[in-house]
Amino acid sequence: MTTRVLDWKSRHDPRSLEHPVRTLLHFKPKPKRRLWLPGPILDQGTEGACVGHGWTNELTASPVRVDLQAAKLAEGWPRQPQPFAFYLYQWCKRHDEFAGEDYDGTSVLTGAQAMKQLGLIESYRWAFTVADIVDSILIAGPVVLGIAWHESMYDAPGGEVAVAGDVVGGHCLLAIGYEPTHIFLDGTAGPAIALLNSWGPTWGKQGVAWIKQADLVKLLRNQGEACVPVHRSFGR
């Protein structure tokens, strides 16, 4: 079994409060459910590179898939998703607020700053509630999450992830779907969010698992963060 490194670090810049995604969501029609299609299923292996992979997953997922081969990237940036994700992670470590580079982890915010500097997004907004996350998914596209990771979340049998046990670190991944009446394996039904991980196809079902909305509420309240790219997901 691959040893996974949990590397997301919470970084809440007070200035983020001035850029809520909710201001972009008003008066926009939305469907009841949505599941955006992922790009290549990435695997960060034993490296603590989840922020690089979370943002790369966002780049390659629908509704607006970025073709890294055709993108006008700065010199040195890889043109394939997997190496791009690792390179992005190393860039973030060099540019985030944490001292040095001899550590695992970086922030979702630094990943967003990298995307903007590369010209891959025009700007980014923040979802401060799960309602913001859900509406962003329904209206615009996937949302990059940084959340606390519990022991039970290492596995997602049957394509579901449960929140139980001690917190063992922090992880970045991508919210790609919402279902108001997901039928869970225990026979209950309720609202759920689909999460795309970067641990290969054996986690969940082809790298994707559903989490109960109530569980994501708890994770977001525990210093979690949720970032929405603009103007790729929202369009121009």
Answer whether 232's CB lies under 8 Å from 141's CB: yes
CATH of 14-230, one of 3.40.190.10, 3.90.70.10, 3.40.225.10, 3.40.50.1980: 3.90.70.10
Q: Which segments of the chain have a pLDDT < 50? A: 100-103, 236
**Cβ distance 169 to 66 under 8 Å?**
no
- Which pLDDT score is estimated for 16? 61
Whole-Å CA distances, 25 to 35, 136, 140: 18, 7, 9
In the prediction, which pLDDT does 205 show?
Answer: 97
Where do the domains of the chain lie?
14-230
> pTM here?
0.92
**CA–CA separation, 43 vs 32, rounded Å?**
31
46-72 core/surface letters (b: 16 or more CB in 10 A; e: else): ebbbbbbbbbbbbbbbeebebebeeee
> Which residue, chain included where needed, has tokens 């915010």?
109
* Residues 72-110 pLDDT 10s: 998 999 999 999 999 999 999 887 765 544 445 688 999
The per-residue DSSP string of 112-166 comes to: HHHHHHTTS-SEEEE--SHHHHHHHHHHT--EEEEEEEEGGGG--GGGB----S-
Angle at 195 between CA 71 and CA 21, to 5 degrees: 65
Output the CA–CA distances (angstroms, integers) from residue 22 to 91, 118, 135, 164, 197, in the order listed: 29, 25, 9, 30, 25
* Burial classification of residue 204, based on how many CB atoms lie within 10 Å of its CB (0-12 exposed, 13-18 middle, 19 or more buried): buried
pLDDT of residue 30: 86
Pairing type for strands 34-35 and 167-183 reads antiparallel
Distance CA 87, CA 229 (A): 20
d(CA 224, CA 54): 14
How far is residue 204's CA from residue 218's CA, in Å, rounded to a whole number? 21
Give me the DSSP letters along 174-189. EEEEEEEEEE-TTS-E
